Structure 1
Amino acid sequence: MPQVWQPTRLTRQQLEERRLAAQPLLNNPEWTTASIAEHFGVKPSTVRVWRVRLSERGSLEATLSSGRPAWLNDAQIAEIIELLQQGPDPERFPDGRWTTERVRDVIGLKFDVWYDHDWIGKLLRRWGFSWQKVEKHAIEQSPEKIDAWLEEELPALEKKGRSWRNDRLGR
């Protein structure tokens, strides 16, 4: 008998498909536990589990995997999203930025649910927010002085640079 390649791990859908294919054979007296196990590439103990499950539930269909229950309900999430869209409180956060630590504190103080700040980043992406990089500049920077420098000093430097380049290149 040629060896057939099989993946080491099957998906939930593939596992269910295999169980459902075996379901008609489980109550067939012509098929033994060992023969069903060999036919579907499982251990005999798995076939016995399938038989018990079939007798208890009446089917071998997959059950839903609920996972861990959410700590926040939909109304609370909507409230958080609205709060984040309004922006941070200028009295508490004068720089006007949301950080994961700040969002964590707001959620914790408002709903008494304390997430890790790394998980807050994942929640924010799930809720449609994206990571923003803060533009860094000197605190003492003055927009008026920058505009004046760009209008007066920069053109003179550019002219100086051209003449220096032309001298070096022999033009």
Structure 2
Amino acid sequence: MEACERFVHGDENAVIARDLRVSVRSVQRWHRAWSQGGPRALTSKGPASLPLLSDELFAVLEQELAKGPVARGWPDQTWTLSRIKTLIGRRFHKSYTVQGVAALLKRHGWSCQVPARRAVERDEAAVVKETWPSVEGPWRRSGPGSSSRTRPASR
């Protein structure tokens, strides 16, 4: 829309392209559309393609995810992007990339979570929580041959 205002003022396409950080060819296309259809011709037409999974299918995917990975044949209870990609392929016959699955989940409000790595057999009562005494070493001045990164002491 800023380009539209600049077309009205008579600015050159190259100047508009530089200021908006786009190609001159894009500005030329915008200018042609603007001259034929006015400002309405420059409004967004929406996304270039529709998502592979509609909101209804994503709701079904959420139900599948709620059942857990073990119910779908994996050995543990961790959903990974790769596993979700495979689930989408098997259940809906749609092909996503791992990055596409991440974008799909993020778009629907999901976030990446890493489970705490704790053994199932862990006994919290048996865990010993002990603080070791801190030990301070003797302070020494840096001298020749020292591995210190500070300047050697002056003589």
1:83 aligns with 2:38: no
Q: How does 1:1-171 map to 2 (within 5 A)?
A: 13-19=1-7, 21=8, 39-42=10-13, 50=31, 54-55=35-36, 57=37, 59-61=38-40, 62-65=42-45, 66-90=47-71, 92-137=73-118, 142-144=121-123, 147-150=125-128
The one-character-per-residue Cα deviations of 1:75-107 (angstroms, maximum 9, x if unpaired) are: 112211232234334461231111001100111
* Structure 1 residues 77 and 90: CA distance shift in structure 2, 3 A: closer
Among all aligned residue pairs of Structure 1 and Structure 2, give the percentage whose two residues are the same amino acid: 22
The one-character-per-residue Cα deviations of 1:63-84 (angstroms, maximum 9, x if unpaired) are: 3243122222221122112322
Kindly tell me the number of residue pairs found equivalent between the two proteins.
Answer: 121
* Structure 1 residues 101 and 50: CA distance shift in structure 2, 3 A: closer
Runs of 4+ in 1 over 6 A off after TM superposition: none
* TM-score normalised to structure 2 length: 0.59
Distance in 1 separating the partners of 2:56 and 2:62: 10
Computing the radius of gyration from Cα coordinates, the structure with the larger value is 1
Distance in 2 separating the partners of 1:118 and 1:107: 13
Give the Å deviation of 1:51. Answer: 6.5
Distance in 2 separating the partners of 1:50 and 1:127: 36
Whichever residue aligns with residue 63 of structure 1, its letter is: T
Distance in 1 separating the partners of 2:33 and 2:111: 49
RCO higher in structure (CA 8 A, sep ≥6): 1
Higher helix share: 1
Distance in 1 separating the partners of 2:33 and 2:102: 44
Distance in 1 separating the partners of 2:82 and 2:54: 21
Give the aligned CA root-mean-square deviation in angstroms.
Answer: 3.5
Give the Å deviation of 1:52. Answer: 7.5
Whichever residue aligns with residue 17 of structure 1, its letter is: E
Distance in 2 separating the partners of 1:67 and 1:112: 22
Q: Is the 1:90–1:96 Cα contact (8 Å) retained in structure 2?
A: no
* TM-score normalised to structure 1 length: 0.54
